[in-house]
Homo-oligomer: A and B are copies of this chain.
Amino acid sequence: MSNPAVKPRPLPGVLLFGLLPVALWFIARPLLDPIPPLPALYASVGLSILAFLATIHLVPRLGPVFISAHLKGRDLLKIYHDPIPESMGLVCAAIYILLLMLFIPFAFSSSIMHRANGSPTPEGINIVDFPHHQLSVYLSSLLSLLTATMLGFLDDVFDIRWRHKLPIPIIASIPLLMVYYAERGNTHVVVPLPLRALLGTLVNLGPLYYIYMSLLSTFATNSINILAGINGSEVSQALIIALSVVFNDLLYLPWPIGFRVPLHLLGNKSEVEFGGVWNAGMSYGSRELVERHLFSLYFMLPLVAVCVGFLYHNWYPARAFPGDTLCYVTGMAFAVVGIQAHFSKTLLLFFIPQIFNFLLSCPQLFGLVPCPRHRVPRFDPNTNLLHPSKAIFEKPPSQLTTFVLHTFATLGLTELTVHPASGVILEATNLTILNFFLVRLGPMNEKRLVQVLMCSQVAGSLVAFVVRYGLAGLVYDGDRR
């Protein structure tokens, strides 16, 4: 542990110490008169700051404990061989879930609710908080998160093979589905305008809706898990997606000011107006929409906090690895808010890089192209640069594989090495978004590559917002049941 590159990263003590009273003020705010309009949101912000502080302090503290319990790995893309603690997403998940548990009285306690309801009504929609009966929905979400954490950690301990673990997140979605069923959850979906002549405005998907929900959790979990391998990749994706969800939620809350986005410049007929106490942002007066997006915020704010805290230690060169646990818990958190707050289509738009990576990976996932155990880029210790790693064909590929790979190569998604005489494909760069970046932009170091990945994630979110609020008006009206 004498290597300075793997010593715990020093913490800015004064800054962190100064955050503690801020956190405590936010947590105490719902108990102080005059009660603010959204008291539980204050507590959520305060608990999130605590989550950040706990994560940034506990991760380096617990690293040696993880190493001594065989939860360690070496960094494949470095010159040193020192063991790095693995599965430390468990610390993040534990802090995240513990603080979500401690949040229960703030959001659901009848005494706080009662005091808040007793305060003089402000103008516009008076959303004090979401109603008491949502407690079981909240608890089922916590159960799913905790199950996902457990399964992620078991995956780390027992090292389950990736083909076997694809369906595991479905187990974690069971509490969600069971309570959704018991509460007679809505299984209707709004039909896009062009299909309404055929199907009507609403279609009841029935059991299909449950399958859709469990697949959403599997997708969210695995799509983050397969876009991994370099320092900071998993947690930075999760962070940017969480921030995008938070930003989207904020559009629906009652704000003291109102403003509009000039979307007619993008060719949309209607303008997007948000903010303003009277119409509670984009909720346009729907109390239910405000409640849903509050619910989402309560799950996303602490997630952002633990991701920031963990990224500090997972940033290049990484002092801690997230393990599968982090991917499981963040993926399940996104699935939870997408399902419970009913914006799963919007959520999927924030996964554009992951969807691209998944589609790109399909030939390897489904056996057309050989899939090595690790598809991370190749590290050149002399230049400290990453190069695209390659899948090697032991025997000549089939016609279908050859066709797919030539198509991918024409699109610039992969680089092929062909036999100079026969034209048979000998090698192809591994089909991941990371190797794609290296193929398109040339070799670069690991820190640069994760920055490129983060930029693509931010760009994906910008596209998502344009699609959601610019183009969705072409196929959907305002009906959001």
Contact = CB atoms under 8 A, between A and B. Distances in A.
Contacts of A140: 139
A175 B142 contact: yes
A139 to B, nearest CB: 4
Interface in A165-195: 171, 174-175, 178-179, 181-184
Contacts of A104: 175, 178-179, 181-182
A264 to B, nearest CB: 46
B101 A181 contact: no
A109 B105 CA distance: 26
Given A146-B146, A150-B150, A157-B157, A182 B105 contact: yes
A451 interface: no
A69 interface: yes
Contact of A182 (B110, B171, B178): B110
Contacts of A71: 157
A147 interface: yes
Contacts of A181: 104-105, 109
Interface in A138-160: 139-140, 142-143, 146-147, 149-150, 153, 157-159
A174 B178 CA distance: 23
20 contacts: A98-B171, A102-B174, A102-B178, A104-B175, A104-B179, A104-B181, A105-B178, A105-B181, A105-B182, A108-B179, A110-B184, A111-B184, A135-B136, A135-B179, A136-B139, A139-B179, A146-B147, A149-B150, A150-B153, A153-B153
Copies of this protein chain in the complex:
2
A110 B98 CA distance: 31
Nearest to A110: B184
Contacts of A153: 150, 153
A161 to B, nearest CB: 12
Nearest to A90: B154
Interface string A96-121: 00100110110011110000000000
A179 B132 CA distance: 11
Nearest to A175: B101
Contacts of A175: 101, 104, 139, 142
Interface in A79-106: 98, 101-102, 104-105
Contacts of A183: 110, 135
Contacts of A178: 101-102, 104-105
A448 interface: no
A18 to B, nearest CB: 28
A157 B101 contact: no
Nearest to A135: B136
A362 interface: no
Contacts of A142: 143, 175
A98 B175 CA distance: 9
A115 to B, nearest CB: 14
A342 to B, nearest CB: 20
Nearest to A140: B139
A135 B105 contact: no
A70 interface: yes
Contacts of A159: 69
B146 A139 contact: no
A416 to B, nearest CB: 39
Contact of A143 (B102, B143, B179): B143
A359 interface: no
A446 to B, nearest CB: 30
Interface string A59-78: 00000010001110000000
Task: Sort A-B residue pairs by CB-CB distance and give the 5 closest, nearest first.
Answer: A139-B139, A104-B178, A108-B182, A136-B136, A135-B136
B150 A146 contact: yes
Contacts of A143: 101, 139, 142-143, 146
B109 A182 contact: yes
